[in-house]
């Protein structure tokens, strides 16, 4: 009998928490907005199980929010490695802003045991922030675990303007051009509950809608239908530009982010 071959997928990521200790303006995951929700080991396992025989991601990325806010993160790392049967030719990573690195004494061992890379995003060159960041980096380096730093100080692409209740899509009259300049990098597919979304803004926009009476400009994008485990998986992952990409700007809107440590009120944007 011919064995079913899992479909090769470039990258799959998911939130282990919606909570975050940062307030990054323009966050594509909307987790700058005071969400407090961690996902349990069993919840996450139930998200993975419908997919493990259907797709094989080359990269599997656990993030948030800030994943170190999830008290179960150590167990989640081990469970994820096991359930997805992650092999040495796949990248397994935990994406963090690093500032809570002291919260989990067992983290270095869990990362080493599972060959999980710690990907650290550097968010700002604000003096107070850099001092905290550097202290955490010294600690991580002393662990000797595999880690990389993603420098987002001058490279932060906004998919929308505003903050919380005032968000508005930047929008475009050419969805293909928006896709060519996709602020989330075109291949950052999101697993949320048992569905897969084209990108983070489409996955988490409904959370903002539950919280606020958003402008009607968001309506076309709130109608987006994600992939279900019984959907056409090959077709979903082969799509490139889609009409929903008109939500995003035509040109990449890089901007230098202010310190993520302060509230939007501090910056006078709410």
Residues in 122-161 that interact with ligand SF4 by CB under 6 A: 159
Residue span binding ligand SF4 (CB under 6 A) among the ranges 40-48, 61-69, 207-215, 239-247 = 239-247
Compare residues 64 and 201 and give the one whose CB is closer to ligand SF4. 201
Q: Taking the complex as a whole, how short is the minimal distance between the CB of residue 255 and ligand SF4, in angstroms? A: 16
- Measure the CA–CA gap between 206 and 161, rounded to whole angstroms: 17
Query: C-alpha 17: how far from its chain's center?
Result: 10
Compare residues 83 and 241 and give the one whose CB is closer to ligand SF4. 241
| Closest by CA position to 148, among listed 200, 98, 199 | 98
- Measure the CA–CA gap between 133 and 147, rounded to whole angstroms: 14
Instruction: Please tell me whether residue 24 binds ligand SF4 under the rule CB under 6 A.
Output: no
Residues in 160-199 that interact with ligand SF4 by CB under 6 A: 178-179, 182-184, 198-199
Can you tell me which residue has the tokens 């303007």?
Answer: 161
Compare residues 162 and 201 and give the one whose CB is closer to ligand SF4. 201
Using CB under 6 A as the binding criterion, the count of chain residues that bind ligand SF4 stands at 14
The one among 24, 76, 227, 247 contacting ligand SF4 by CB under 6 A:
247
Q: Taking the complex as a whole, how short is the minimal distance between the CB of residue 65 and ligand SF4, in angstroms? A: 18
Q: Taking the complex as a whole, how short is the minimal distance between the CB of residue 248 and ligand SF4, in angstroms? A: 3
Compare residues 133 and 179 and give the one whose CB is closer to ligand SF4. 179
Instruction: Please tell me whether residue 248 binds ligand SF4 under the rule CB under 6 A.
Output: yes
How many CB atoms are closer than 10 A to CB 96? 24
Q: Taking the complex as a whole, how short is the minimal distance between the CB of residue 228 and ligand SF4, in angstroms? A: 19
Pairing of strands 189-192, 195-197: antiparallel
Compare residues 26 and 99 and give the one whose CB is closer to ligand SF4. 26
∠ CA 66-245-168, nearest 5°, is: 65
Residue span binding ligand SF4 (CB under 6 A) among the ranges 91-99, 107-115, 135-143, 245-253 = 245-253
Compare residues 116 and 246 and give the one whose CB is closer to ligand SF4. 246
The one among 94, 202, 203, 214 contacting ligand SF4 by CB under 6 A:
202
Calculate the alpha carbon distances from 198 to 65, 195, 242 in Å.
18, 10, 10
Compare residues 12 and 247 and give the one whose CB is closer to ligand SF4. 247
Contact residues toward ligand SF4 (CB under 6 A) are 159, 178-179, 182-184, 198-199, 201-202, 244-245, 247-248
């Amino acid at each position: 009998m011919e064995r079913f071959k899992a479909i090769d997928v470039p990258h799959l990521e998911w939130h282990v928490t919606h909570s975050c200790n940062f307030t990054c303006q323009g966050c594509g995951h909307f987790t700058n907005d005071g969400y407090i929700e961690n996902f349990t080991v069993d919840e996450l396992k139930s998200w993975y199980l419908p997919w493990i025989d259907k797709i094989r991601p080359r990269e599997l990325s656990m993030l948030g929010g800030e994943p170190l806010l999830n008290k179960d993160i150590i167990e989640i790392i081990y469970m994820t490695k096991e359930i997805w049967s992650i092999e040495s030719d796949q990248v397994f990573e935990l994406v963090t802003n690093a500032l809570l690195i002291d919260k989990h004494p067992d983290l270095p061992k869990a990362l080493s045991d599972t060959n999980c890379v710690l990907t650290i995003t550097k968010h700002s060159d604000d003096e107070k922030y850099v001092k905290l960041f550097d202290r955490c980096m010294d600690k991580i380096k002393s662990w000797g675990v595999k880690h990389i730093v993603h420098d987002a100080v001058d490279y932060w692409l906004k998919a929308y303007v505003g903050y919380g209740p005032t968000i508005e899509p930047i929008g475009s009259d050419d969805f293909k051009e928006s896709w060519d300049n996709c602020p989330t990098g075109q291949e950052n597919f999101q697993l949320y509950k048992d569905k897969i979304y084209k990108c983070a803004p489409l996955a988490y926009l409904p959370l903002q809608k539950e919280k606020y009476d958003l402008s009607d400009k968001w309506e076309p994008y709130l109608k987006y239908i994600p992939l279900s485990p019984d959907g056409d998986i090959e077709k979903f992952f082969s799509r490139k530009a889609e009409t929903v990409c008109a939500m995003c700007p035509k040109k990449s809107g890089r901007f230098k982010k202010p310190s993520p440590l302060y509230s939007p009120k501090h910056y006078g944007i709410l």
